[in-house]
Chains A and B, each alone.
Chain A
Amino acid sequence: MAEHGVANIWRKQKSMYSIIGSKCTTCGEHYFPPRPVCPTCRRKGQLEEYQFKGLGKIHTFAVVRQAPEDFKRQVPYVVAQVELDEGARLTAQIVNIEPENVEIGMRVRSCFRKITEYGQGGIIVYGYKFEPTMKVTGHD
Protein backbone atom coordinates (compact mmCIF):
# COMPACT_ATOMS: atom_id res chain seq x y z
CA MET A 1 0.00 0.00 0.00
CA ALA A 2 1.06 3.51 -0.79
CA GLU A 3 1.35 4.57 2.83
CA HIS A 4 3.97 1.87 3.40
CA GLY A 5 6.42 3.69 1.16
CA VAL A 6 9.85 4.59 2.53
CA ALA A 7 9.75 8.18 1.31
CA ASN A 8 6.43 8.74 3.06
CA ILE A 9 8.14 8.28 6.42
CA TRP A 10 11.52 9.76 5.40
CA ARG A 11 10.06 13.16 4.54
CA LYS A 12 8.36 13.39 7.95
CA GLN A 13 11.38 12.27 9.95
CA LYS A 14 12.10 15.64 11.50
CA SER A 15 8.61 16.00 12.90
CA MET A 16 8.25 12.37 13.90
CA TYR A 17 11.64 12.12 15.62
CA SER A 18 11.82 15.49 17.34
CA ILE A 19 8.24 16.82 17.47
CA ILE A 20 9.04 19.74 15.24
CA GLY A 21 5.97 21.72 14.25
CA SER A 22 5.41 25.36 13.53
CA LYS A 23 4.75 28.57 15.42
CA CYS A 24 3.00 31.57 13.94
CA THR A 25 4.89 34.70 15.01
CA THR A 26 1.90 36.86 14.08
CA CYS A 27 -0.62 35.30 16.50
CA GLY A 28 1.65 33.16 18.69
CA GLU A 29 -0.23 29.92 17.98
CA HIS A 30 1.70 26.61 17.88
CA TYR A 31 0.89 23.88 15.38
CA PHE A 32 1.76 20.24 15.18
CA PRO A 33 2.34 18.74 12.67
CA PRO A 34 3.81 21.76 10.86
CA ARG A 35 1.23 23.62 8.81
CA PRO A 36 1.76 25.37 5.49
CA VAL A 37 -0.66 28.17 6.42
CA CYS A 38 -1.74 29.61 9.79
CA PRO A 39 -5.53 29.02 9.80
CA THR A 40 -6.06 32.08 12.00
CA CYS A 41 -3.89 34.61 10.17
CA ARG A 42 -3.70 33.01 6.71
CA ARG A 43 -1.82 35.45 4.43
CA LYS A 44 -0.73 37.63 7.37
CA GLY A 45 0.68 34.64 9.24
CA GLN A 46 4.42 34.05 9.64
CA LEU A 47 5.22 30.43 10.34
CA GLU A 48 8.57 29.35 11.66
CA GLU A 49 9.85 25.95 12.73
CA TYR A 50 9.27 25.18 16.38
CA GLN A 51 10.58 22.30 18.46
CA PHE A 52 8.03 21.34 21.08
CA LYS A 53 9.31 20.59 24.56
CA GLY A 54 7.52 17.25 24.51
CA LEU A 55 5.63 17.84 27.74
CA GLY A 56 1.91 17.80 28.13
CA LYS A 57 -1.13 16.06 29.56
CA ILE A 58 -3.55 13.42 28.40
CA HIS A 59 -6.64 15.02 26.87
CA THR A 60 -8.42 11.74 26.14
CA PHE A 61 -7.42 8.15 25.38
CA ALA A 62 -8.50 4.71 24.21
CA VAL A 63 -7.30 1.20 24.92
CA VAL A 64 -7.03 -0.43 21.52
CA ARG A 65 -7.90 -4.13 21.53
CA GLN A 66 -8.50 -4.73 17.82
CA ALA A 67 -6.00 -3.28 15.41
CA PRO A 68 -5.03 -3.59 11.77
CA GLU A 69 -1.95 -5.56 10.72
CA ASP A 70 0.62 -2.85 11.54
CA PHE A 71 -0.37 -2.78 15.21
CA LYS A 72 -1.78 -6.25 15.79
CA ARG A 73 1.24 -7.41 17.78
CA GLN A 74 0.96 -4.49 20.21
CA VAL A 75 -2.63 -4.96 21.42
CA PRO A 76 -3.80 -4.04 23.94
CA TYR A 77 -2.16 -0.61 23.81
CA VAL A 78 -3.10 2.88 24.87
CA VAL A 79 -3.40 5.62 22.29
CA ALA A 80 -4.18 9.15 23.40
CA GLN A 81 -4.56 12.74 22.43
CA VAL A 82 -1.83 14.62 24.26
CA GLU A 83 -2.29 18.31 24.84
CA LEU A 84 1.21 19.77 24.66
CA ASP A 85 2.09 22.58 27.06
CA GLU A 86 2.46 24.98 24.13
CA GLY A 87 -1.21 24.39 23.22
CA ALA A 88 -1.26 22.01 20.25
CA ARG A 89 -2.68 18.51 20.54
CA LEU A 90 -1.32 15.37 18.91
CA THR A 91 -2.13 11.67 18.78
CA ALA A 92 0.36 9.17 20.21
CA GLN A 93 0.69 5.94 22.16
CA ILE A 94 1.18 6.04 25.92
CA VAL A 95 3.80 3.61 27.23
CA ASN A 96 5.48 2.60 30.50
CA ILE A 97 2.15 2.37 32.32
CA GLU A 98 -0.57 -0.26 32.61
CA PRO A 99 -3.67 0.68 30.56
CA GLU A 100 -5.91 0.62 33.66
CA ASN A 101 -3.77 3.30 35.33
CA VAL A 102 -4.02 5.86 32.52
CA GLU A 103 -6.18 8.87 33.30
CA ILE A 104 -7.33 12.03 31.59
CA GLY A 105 -5.22 14.95 32.84
CA MET A 106 -2.14 12.82 33.57
CA ARG A 107 1.19 14.57 32.91
CA VAL A 108 3.26 12.92 30.19
CA ARG A 109 6.54 13.47 28.35
CA SER A 110 7.68 12.32 24.95
CA CYS A 111 10.02 9.42 24.38
CA PHE A 112 11.55 7.99 21.21
CA ARG A 113 10.21 4.58 20.30
CA LYS A 114 9.53 2.14 17.52
CA ILE A 115 6.04 2.89 16.23
CA THR A 116 5.53 -0.11 13.95
CA GLU A 117 7.19 -2.17 11.26
CA TYR A 118 5.80 -2.66 7.82
CA GLY A 119 5.76 -6.45 7.64
CA GLN A 120 8.63 -8.69 6.64
CA GLY A 121 11.34 -6.76 4.86
CA GLY A 122 9.43 -3.51 5.27
CA ILE A 123 10.81 -0.47 7.03
CA ILE A 124 10.74 0.07 10.77
CA VAL A 125 8.99 3.29 11.68
CA TYR A 126 10.31 5.29 14.66
CA GLY A 127 8.82 8.32 16.31
CA TYR A 128 7.30 9.76 19.47
CA LYS A 129 5.30 8.01 22.13
CA PHE A 130 4.57 9.46 25.56
CA GLU A 131 5.11 8.18 29.10
CA PRO A 132 4.04 9.42 32.52
CA THR A 133 6.43 12.04 33.95
CA MET A 134 5.95 10.79 37.51
CA LYS A 135 7.75 7.52 37.09
CA VAL A 136 11.38 6.53 36.55
CA THR A 137 11.21 4.65 33.32
CA GLY A 138 12.20 1.18 32.32
CA HIS A 139 11.95 0.18 28.71
CA ASP A 140 8.94 -0.52 26.58
Chain B
Amino acid sequence: MSRRVAIIGVGMSEFGELWDKSLRDITLEAGMYSIFDAEISGSEIDAIIIGNMSAGRFTGQEHLGALAADMGGLGNIPAYSVEAACASGGAAVRHAYMAIKSGEHDAMMVLGCEKMSDVNQTEAMKTISVASDWEWEGLFGATFPALYAFIARRHMMEYGTTEEMLAQVAVKNHANAAHNPWAQFQRPVPIEFVMGSGMLADPIRVLHSSPISDGAAGLIMCDEKTAKKYTDTPIYIESSTQASDTLALHDRRDICTADAVVHSSKSALKKAGLKIEDIDVFELHDSFTISEIMLTEDVGIAEKGKGGQVVLDGLTEIGGQFPVNTSGGLKARGHPIGATGVAQIVELALQLRGDCEGRQVEGAEKGLAVNIGGTGATSIVHILGR
Protein backbone atom coordinates (compact mmCIF):
# COMPACT_ATOMS: atom_id res chain seq x y z
CA MET B 1 0.00 0.00 0.00
CA SER B 2 1.27 3.36 -0.94
CA ARG B 3 1.83 5.90 1.74
CA ARG B 4 -0.68 8.31 3.24
CA VAL B 5 -0.27 12.00 2.59
CA ALA B 6 -0.67 14.50 5.41
CA ILE B 7 -1.02 18.25 5.82
CA ILE B 8 1.04 19.51 8.75
CA GLY B 9 1.05 23.25 8.19
CA VAL B 10 -1.16 25.93 6.67
CA GLY B 11 -0.57 29.61 5.95
CA MET B 12 -2.39 32.47 4.29
CA SER B 13 -1.64 36.00 3.25
CA GLU B 14 -4.52 38.37 3.75
CA PHE B 15 -6.91 38.46 0.77
CA GLY B 16 -8.03 41.72 -0.81
CA GLU B 17 -6.84 44.49 -3.06
CA LEU B 18 -3.38 44.72 -1.58
CA TRP B 19 -1.86 47.70 -3.34
CA ASP B 20 1.11 47.82 -1.00
CA LYS B 21 2.09 44.22 -1.64
CA SER B 22 3.60 42.50 -4.68
CA LEU B 23 3.10 38.95 -5.92
CA ARG B 24 6.43 38.03 -4.27
CA ASP B 25 5.39 39.55 -0.94
CA ILE B 26 2.12 37.67 -0.62
CA THR B 27 3.50 34.38 -1.93
CA LEU B 28 6.40 34.53 0.49
CA GLU B 29 4.01 35.43 3.32
CA ALA B 30 1.81 32.38 2.77
CA GLY B 31 4.85 30.11 2.47
CA MET B 32 6.52 31.42 5.62
CA TYR B 33 3.34 31.15 7.68
CA SER B 34 2.84 27.55 6.56
CA ILE B 35 6.42 26.68 7.57
CA PHE B 36 5.96 28.36 10.97
CA ASP B 37 2.64 26.58 11.44
CA ALA B 38 4.20 23.19 10.67
CA GLU B 39 7.24 23.97 12.84
CA ILE B 40 9.30 22.32 10.15
CA SER B 41 12.75 23.45 9.08
CA GLY B 42 13.07 24.85 5.56
CA SER B 43 15.85 22.34 4.93
CA GLU B 44 13.35 19.48 5.20
CA ILE B 45 11.26 20.78 2.31
CA ASP B 46 12.31 18.89 -0.80
CA ALA B 47 10.13 20.53 -3.49
CA ILE B 48 7.80 23.47 -4.13
CA ILE B 49 4.72 23.43 -6.32
CA ILE B 50 2.71 26.56 -7.11
CA GLY B 51 -0.82 26.95 -8.42
CA ASN B 52 -1.15 30.09 -10.50
CA MET B 53 -3.31 30.97 -13.46
CA SER B 54 -1.86 33.97 -15.16
CA ALA B 55 0.93 35.82 -13.38
CA GLY B 56 2.36 36.69 -16.79
CA ARG B 57 -0.72 38.67 -17.77
CA PHE B 58 -1.60 39.99 -14.32
CA THR B 59 1.87 41.04 -13.21
CA GLY B 60 4.31 40.50 -16.06
CA GLN B 61 6.16 37.79 -14.13
CA GLU B 62 6.31 34.08 -14.91
CA HIS B 63 8.68 31.37 -13.65
CA LEU B 64 7.14 31.45 -10.21
CA GLY B 65 8.71 28.19 -9.03
CA ALA B 66 12.21 29.58 -9.18
CA LEU B 67 10.96 32.85 -7.72
CA ALA B 68 9.47 31.12 -4.68
CA ALA B 69 12.49 28.92 -4.03
CA ASP B 70 14.72 31.97 -4.30
CA MET B 71 12.62 34.36 -2.16
CA GLY B 72 12.00 31.69 0.45
CA GLY B 73 15.72 30.92 0.68
CA LEU B 74 14.98 27.29 0.06
CA GLY B 75 18.03 26.71 -2.14
CA ASN B 76 18.29 24.31 -5.01
CA ILE B 77 15.16 22.18 -4.59
CA PRO B 78 12.85 21.58 -7.59
CA ALA B 79 10.13 24.21 -7.90
CA TYR B 80 7.57 24.91 -10.61
CA SER B 81 4.00 26.04 -11.18
CA VAL B 82 0.92 24.32 -12.62
CA GLU B 83 -2.02 25.91 -14.37
CA ALA B 84 -5.66 24.85 -14.65
CA ALA B 85 -7.35 28.26 -14.71
CA CYS B 86 -9.35 28.79 -11.49
CA ALA B 87 -8.48 25.21 -10.49
CA SER B 88 -4.73 25.88 -10.53
CA GLY B 89 -4.54 25.78 -6.73
CA GLY B 90 -6.33 22.44 -6.57
CA ALA B 91 -4.01 21.15 -9.27
CA ALA B 92 -1.00 22.12 -7.15
CA VAL B 93 -2.38 20.28 -4.12
CA ARG B 94 -3.13 17.22 -6.24
CA HIS B 95 0.32 17.36 -7.79
CA ALA B 96 1.98 17.37 -4.38
CA TYR B 97 -0.32 14.58 -3.24
CA MET B 98 0.79 12.39 -6.14
CA ALA B 99 4.47 13.27 -5.75
CA ILE B 100 4.47 12.40 -2.05
CA LYS B 101 2.32 9.31 -2.47
CA SER B 102 4.67 7.97 -5.12
CA GLY B 103 7.67 8.41 -2.81
CA GLU B 104 9.39 10.89 -5.09
CA HIS B 105 9.16 13.64 -2.48
CA ASP B 106 8.71 13.50 1.31
CA ALA B 107 7.86 17.06 2.32
CA MET B 108 6.60 19.71 -0.05
CA MET B 109 5.53 23.30 0.10
CA VAL B 110 2.34 23.89 -1.87
CA LEU B 111 1.53 27.47 -2.78
CA GLY B 112 -1.32 29.11 -4.61
CA CYS B 113 -1.18 32.76 -5.58
CA GLU B 114 -2.57 35.46 -7.81
CA LYS B 115 -1.99 39.20 -7.87
CA MET B 116 -4.88 40.64 -9.87
CA SER B 117 -5.03 44.30 -8.84
CA ASP B 118 -1.91 45.44 -10.68
CA VAL B 119 -3.98 45.69 -13.87
CA ASN B 120 -7.17 47.72 -14.27
CA GLN B 121 -10.57 46.10 -13.97
CA THR B 122 -11.27 45.66 -17.68
CA GLU B 123 -7.89 44.07 -18.22
CA ALA B 124 -8.53 41.77 -15.29
CA MET B 125 -11.91 40.82 -16.77
CA LYS B 126 -10.25 40.01 -20.07
CA THR B 127 -7.67 37.79 -18.42
CA ILE B 128 -10.32 35.98 -16.39
CA SER B 129 -12.23 35.25 -19.60
CA VAL B 130 -9.30 33.35 -21.09
CA ALA B 131 -10.23 30.60 -18.61
CA SER B 132 -13.22 29.89 -20.88
CA ASP B 133 -12.94 29.10 -24.60
CA TRP B 134 -11.65 32.53 -25.51
CA GLU B 135 -11.63 32.02 -29.29
CA TRP B 136 -15.27 30.87 -29.51
CA GLU B 137 -16.90 32.44 -26.45
CA GLY B 138 -14.93 35.48 -25.28
CA LEU B 139 -14.19 36.76 -28.78
CA PHE B 140 -17.94 36.87 -29.49
CA GLY B 141 -18.67 39.01 -26.45
CA ALA B 142 -19.36 36.38 -23.80
CA THR B 143 -17.73 37.76 -20.67
CA PHE B 144 -17.10 35.40 -17.74
CA PRO B 145 -20.18 36.69 -15.84
CA ALA B 146 -22.20 36.23 -19.07
CA LEU B 147 -21.26 32.55 -19.19
CA TYR B 148 -22.49 32.09 -15.63
CA ALA B 149 -25.58 34.10 -16.54
CA PHE B 150 -26.18 31.46 -19.25
CA ILE B 151 -26.20 28.81 -16.53
CA ALA B 152 -28.28 30.88 -14.12
CA ARG B 153 -30.97 31.75 -16.65
CA ARG B 154 -31.32 28.17 -17.77
CA HIS B 155 -31.34 26.91 -14.15
CA MET B 156 -34.08 29.42 -13.33
CA MET B 157 -36.15 28.28 -16.29
CA GLU B 158 -35.72 24.55 -15.80
CA TYR B 159 -35.95 24.37 -12.00
CA GLY B 160 -37.62 27.55 -10.84
CA THR B 161 -34.49 28.85 -9.15
CA THR B 162 -35.12 32.41 -8.00
CA GLU B 163 -33.13 35.63 -7.64
CA GLU B 164 -33.62 35.33 -3.90
CA MET B 165 -31.88 31.94 -3.91
CA LEU B 166 -28.94 33.36 -5.86
CA ALA B 167 -28.73 36.24 -3.39
CA GLN B 168 -28.98 34.04 -0.31
CA VAL B 169 -25.76 32.24 -1.25
CA ALA B 170 -23.94 35.57 -1.07
CA VAL B 171 -25.63 36.45 2.23
CA LYS B 172 -24.59 33.12 3.79
CA ASN B 173 -21.01 33.34 2.55
CA HIS B 174 -20.57 36.92 3.71
CA ALA B 175 -21.92 35.96 7.14
CA ASN B 176 -19.30 33.21 7.33
CA ALA B 177 -16.48 35.48 6.15
CA ALA B 178 -17.26 37.88 8.97
CA HIS B 179 -15.46 35.33 11.19
CA ASN B 180 -12.55 34.65 8.86
CA PRO B 181 -9.57 36.90 9.64
CA TRP B 182 -8.08 36.37 6.14
CA ALA B 183 -11.25 37.12 4.20
CA GLN B 184 -11.50 40.04 1.79
CA PHE B 185 -14.98 41.04 3.02
CA GLN B 186 -15.28 40.43 6.75
CA ARG B 187 -18.79 41.75 7.03
CA PRO B 188 -22.32 40.47 6.53
CA VAL B 189 -24.45 41.89 3.72
CA PRO B 190 -28.25 42.10 3.88
CA ILE B 191 -30.17 40.34 1.11
CA GLU B 192 -31.69 43.61 -0.20
CA PHE B 193 -28.17 44.84 -0.78
CA VAL B 194 -27.32 41.80 -2.91
CA MET B 195 -30.59 41.92 -4.82
CA GLY B 196 -30.18 45.62 -5.52
CA SER B 197 -26.53 45.49 -6.58
CA GLY B 198 -25.56 46.46 -10.13
CA MET B 199 -25.99 44.08 -13.06
CA LEU B 200 -22.90 42.58 -14.67
CA ALA B 201 -24.77 40.36 -17.11
CA ASP B 202 -28.45 39.75 -16.36
CA PRO B 203 -29.29 37.89 -14.18
CA ILE B 204 -25.79 37.99 -12.62
CA ARG B 205 -25.24 40.96 -10.30
CA VAL B 206 -22.05 42.35 -8.81
CA LEU B 207 -22.78 40.71 -5.46
CA HIS B 208 -23.38 37.33 -7.11
CA SER B 209 -19.79 37.44 -8.27
CA SER B 210 -16.48 36.77 -6.58
CA PRO B 211 -14.27 39.87 -6.49
CA ILE B 212 -10.92 40.79 -8.03
CA SER B 213 -8.43 39.76 -5.36
CA ASP B 214 -4.80 39.50 -4.44
CA GLY B 215 -3.78 36.71 -2.15
CA ALA B 216 -1.77 33.59 -1.53
CA ALA B 217 -2.22 30.39 0.44
CA GLY B 218 0.25 27.74 1.46
CA LEU B 219 0.42 24.19 2.78
CA ILE B 220 3.16 21.92 4.04
CA MET B 221 2.37 18.42 2.86
CA CYS B 222 4.36 15.29 3.67
CA ASP B 223 4.20 11.52 4.07
CA GLU B 224 2.76 10.02 7.23
CA LYS B 225 6.12 9.14 8.75
CA THR B 226 7.47 12.66 8.37
CA ALA B 227 4.19 14.06 9.66
CA LYS B 228 4.45 12.08 12.89
CA LYS B 229 7.75 13.82 13.66
CA TYR B 230 5.97 17.17 13.79
CA THR B 231 2.47 16.53 15.03
CA ASP B 232 0.34 13.94 16.78
CA THR B 233 -2.73 15.08 14.90
CA PRO B 234 -1.98 15.42 11.19
CA ILE B 235 -4.77 16.04 8.74
CA TYR B 236 -4.80 13.43 5.99
CA ILE B 237 -5.78 13.69 2.36
CA GLU B 238 -8.18 10.76 2.04
CA SER B 239 -8.57 11.13 -1.71
CA SER B 240 -7.71 13.42 -4.60
CA THR B 241 -9.48 13.24 -7.95
CA GLN B 242 -9.79 15.25 -11.11
CA ALA B 243 -12.02 15.27 -14.20
CA SER B 244 -12.45 17.32 -17.36
CA ASP B 245 -15.31 18.56 -19.53
CA THR B 246 -15.58 20.56 -22.75
CA LEU B 247 -13.68 23.85 -22.65
CA ALA B 248 -16.62 25.80 -24.07
CA LEU B 249 -19.84 25.89 -22.07
CA HIS B 250 -21.92 25.64 -25.28
CA ASP B 251 -20.52 22.16 -25.96
CA ARG B 252 -21.79 20.68 -22.66
CA ARG B 253 -24.37 17.93 -22.56
CA ASP B 254 -26.34 20.02 -20.04
CA ILE B 255 -25.12 23.48 -19.07
CA CYS B 256 -26.80 23.21 -15.65
CA THR B 257 -24.73 20.17 -14.65
CA ALA B 258 -20.97 20.19 -14.22
CA ASP B 259 -20.27 16.62 -15.32
CA ALA B 260 -16.62 16.96 -14.32
CA VAL B 261 -17.75 17.73 -10.76
CA VAL B 262 -20.19 14.82 -10.74
CA HIS B 263 -17.47 12.38 -11.85
CA SER B 264 -14.66 13.68 -9.66
CA SER B 265 -16.74 13.98 -6.49
CA LYS B 266 -18.23 10.54 -6.94
CA SER B 267 -14.82 8.96 -7.40
CA ALA B 268 -13.35 10.95 -4.49
CA LEU B 269 -16.04 9.63 -2.14
CA LYS B 270 -15.56 6.11 -3.43
CA LYS B 271 -11.78 6.19 -3.04
CA ALA B 272 -12.15 7.51 0.51
CA GLY B 273 -14.79 4.87 1.30
CA LEU B 274 -17.25 7.59 2.30
CA LYS B 275 -20.78 8.73 1.52
CA ILE B 276 -21.85 12.34 1.13
CA GLU B 277 -23.57 12.13 4.57
CA ASP B 278 -20.17 11.39 6.14
CA ILE B 279 -18.78 14.78 5.10
CA ASP B 280 -19.01 17.43 7.83
CA VAL B 281 -17.79 20.52 6.00
CA PHE B 282 -17.52 21.63 2.36
CA GLU B 283 -15.66 24.22 0.34
CA LEU B 284 -17.43 24.48 -3.03
CA HIS B 285 -16.21 26.76 -5.81
CA ASP B 286 -18.63 29.71 -5.73
CA SER B 287 -17.06 32.01 -8.31
CA PHE B 288 -20.68 33.07 -8.84
CA THR B 289 -23.54 32.24 -6.51
CA ILE B 290 -25.14 30.09 -9.23
CA SER B 291 -22.02 27.90 -9.23
CA GLU B 292 -22.44 27.10 -5.52
CA ILE B 293 -26.05 26.15 -6.23
CA MET B 294 -25.03 23.94 -9.15
CA LEU B 295 -22.14 22.32 -7.26
CA THR B 296 -24.33 21.63 -4.24
CA GLU B 297 -26.38 19.49 -6.61
CA ASP B 298 -23.46 17.95 -8.46
CA VAL B 299 -21.68 16.68 -5.33
CA GLY B 300 -24.93 15.17 -4.06
CA ILE B 301 -25.95 17.50 -1.21
CA ALA B 302 -29.14 18.40 -3.08
CA GLU B 303 -31.02 16.75 -5.93
CA LYS B 304 -30.67 18.40 -9.34
CA GLY B 305 -32.73 21.57 -9.32
CA LYS B 306 -32.93 21.84 -5.52
CA GLY B 307 -29.60 23.56 -4.93
CA GLY B 308 -31.27 26.93 -4.47
CA GLN B 309 -33.89 25.61 -2.07
CA VAL B 310 -31.34 24.03 0.30
CA VAL B 311 -29.69 27.43 0.73
CA LEU B 312 -33.01 29.02 1.68
CA ASP B 313 -33.64 26.10 4.06
CA GLY B 314 -30.35 26.73 5.84
CA LEU B 315 -29.01 23.25 5.09
CA THR B 316 -25.66 24.68 3.96
CA GLU B 317 -25.19 27.16 6.81
CA ILE B 318 -22.81 26.53 9.68
CA GLY B 319 -25.04 24.52 11.98
CA GLY B 320 -26.91 22.98 9.05
CA GLN B 321 -26.41 19.38 7.95
CA PHE B 322 -23.98 20.27 5.12
CA PRO B 323 -22.10 23.51 5.88
CA VAL B 324 -20.74 24.97 2.63
CA ASN B 325 -18.03 27.63 2.40
CA THR B 326 -17.44 28.32 6.09
CA SER B 327 -14.48 30.45 4.97
CA GLY B 328 -16.80 32.79 3.09
CA GLY B 329 -16.02 31.04 -0.17
CA LEU B 330 -14.75 32.75 -3.27
CA LYS B 331 -17.55 35.27 -2.90
CA ALA B 332 -16.44 36.75 0.41
CA ARG B 333 -13.02 35.29 1.27
CA GLY B 334 -11.97 36.54 -2.16
CA HIS B 335 -10.81 34.78 -5.31
CA PRO B 336 -7.16 35.36 -6.15
CA ILE B 337 -7.48 32.76 -8.87
CA GLY B 338 -4.47 30.51 -8.33
CA ALA B 339 -4.71 30.79 -4.53
CA THR B 340 -8.31 29.64 -4.26
CA GLY B 341 -7.83 25.87 -4.51
CA VAL B 342 -5.12 25.97 -1.85
CA ALA B 343 -7.13 28.32 0.39
CA GLN B 344 -10.03 25.85 0.28
CA ILE B 345 -7.72 23.13 1.66
CA VAL B 346 -6.37 25.54 4.30
CA GLU B 347 -9.94 26.16 5.50
CA LEU B 348 -10.82 22.46 5.63
CA ALA B 349 -7.59 21.64 7.51
CA LEU B 350 -8.33 24.40 10.04
CA GLN B 351 -11.90 23.12 10.43
CA LEU B 352 -10.69 19.56 11.09
CA ARG B 353 -8.11 20.86 13.55
CA GLY B 354 -10.82 22.80 15.35
CA ASP B 355 -9.08 26.11 14.70
CA CYS B 356 -11.95 28.08 13.15
CA GLU B 357 -13.10 30.21 16.02
CA GLY B 358 -16.41 31.89 15.29
CA ARG B 359 -17.12 29.72 12.25
CA GLN B 360 -16.17 26.27 13.58
CA VAL B 361 -18.22 23.25 12.55
CA GLU B 362 -18.22 21.39 15.84
CA GLY B 363 -16.49 18.03 15.74
CA ALA B 364 -15.76 18.14 12.02
CA GLU B 365 -13.87 15.01 10.96
CA LYS B 366 -14.20 14.94 7.18
CA GLY B 367 -14.12 17.79 4.68
CA LEU B 368 -14.57 17.96 0.92
CA ALA B 369 -13.37 20.67 -1.47
CA VAL B 370 -14.36 21.21 -5.10
CA ASN B 371 -12.17 23.55 -7.13
CA ILE B 372 -13.29 24.15 -10.71
CA GLY B 373 -11.60 25.80 -13.67
CA GLY B 374 -13.36 27.99 -16.22
CA THR B 375 -17.05 27.18 -16.34
CA GLY B 376 -16.39 23.64 -15.08
CA ALA B 377 -14.03 22.30 -17.74
CA THR B 378 -11.75 21.17 -14.91
CA SER B 379 -12.87 19.85 -11.55
CA ILE B 380 -10.51 18.86 -8.76
CA VAL B 381 -11.85 17.27 -5.58
CA HIS B 382 -10.05 16.62 -2.30
CA ILE B 383 -11.38 14.86 0.75
CA LEU B 384 -9.59 15.54 4.03
CA GLY B 385 -9.89 13.60 7.26
CA ARG B 386 -8.40 13.52 10.72
Contact = CB atoms under 8 A, between A and B. Distances in A.
A64 interface: yes
A115 B149 contact: no
Nearest to A115: B140
A69 interface: yes
A59 B154 contact: yes
A91 B201 contact: no
B54 to A, nearest CB: 12
Interface string A59-79: 111111111111110100101
A132 interface: no
- Chain B interface, DSSP helix/strand/loop, else mixed: helix
Contacts of B199: 63, 65-66
B255 A125 contact: no
A33 B135 CA distance: 10
Given A61-B153, A62-B146, A68-B129, A116 B141 contact: yes
Nearest to B57: A1
A59 B157 CA distance: 11
Given A66-B145, A90-B136, A91-B250, A81 B150 contact: yes
Interface in B136-166: 136-137, 139-143, 145-147, 149-151, 153-154, 157
Given A63-B201, A65-B201, A91 B248 contact: yes
A34 to B, nearest CB: 11
Given A59-B154, A81-B255, A90-B136, A67 B250 contact: no
B139 A62 contact: no
Interface string B185-211: 000000000000011111110000000
Contact of B202 (A3, A62, A115, A127): A62
Nearest to A93: B141
Interface residues of B, number: 37
B139 A79 contact: no
Contacts of B125: 66-68
Given A60-B150, A89-B250, A65 B140 contact: no
A69 B125 CA distance: 9
B143 A64 contact: yes
Given A12-B135, A62-B146, A104 B154 contact: yes
A54 to B, nearest CB: 15
A81 B249 contact: yes
A52 to B, nearest CB: 13
A8 B138 CA distance: 14
A66 B199 CA distance: 8
A92 interface: yes
B121 to A, nearest CB: 9
B143 A115 contact: no
A42 B328 CA distance: 43
Given A65-B198, A74-B141, 11 more contacts: A1-B126, A3-B135, A62-B142, A62-B201, A62-B203, A63-B149, A63-B202, A69-B126, A71-B143, A81-B150, A125-B139
